[in-house]
Amino acid sequence: MMCSQGHIDDHQSGEDLENYSLGRLAPSRAPALERHLLSCQGCRTELNAIEPYNFVHYTRDGPFYSRVTKLRTGKLFARHWSRSLEVGKEFRTQQAAKAYPAITFCQMFPHHVCTARCGATGTISH
């Protein structure tokens, strides 16, 4: 089986994992990377390490995702996305980056009550 970076045993680059986490990986490359993640614990571990916050809320409008990604520059990028929205902001500290999704979600959905479906997501949730 071939992946975007070679054979299934090859690891994905830090740049590709960062772009995948940020939703910036070319759509044509995402399926191969996701197949690789299903079989490569090392790359799943690396992806999880750059995503200190990865959460989904199920709202009336559908799933609403929140994620913080540690960038290779040392900064963090916090973002939300859904079918109709994508917004994000860069931060210098993990504390500020993790606070942003919680605060902004509550502002956008003040009456949301989490159900058992809401919670931290697994690696492949893009």
Residue-wise pLDDT tens digits, 19-68? 999 999 999 999 999 999 999 999 999 999 999 999 999 999 899 999 99
pLDDT at 2 over 70: no
Give per-residue pLDDT as tens, 107-117.
Answer: 999 999 999 99
Whether the predicted model's global pTM rises above the 0.75 cut: yes
pLDDT of residue 10: 74
CB 32 within 8 A of CB 25: no
| Closest C-alpha to 88, from 107, 69, 112 | 69
pLDDT of residue 123: 52
Break the chain into its structural domains and give their ranges. Answer: 1-49, 51-126
**Secondary structure (3-state) at 57:** strand
Query: What residue type is assigned to position 10 of the chain?
Result: D
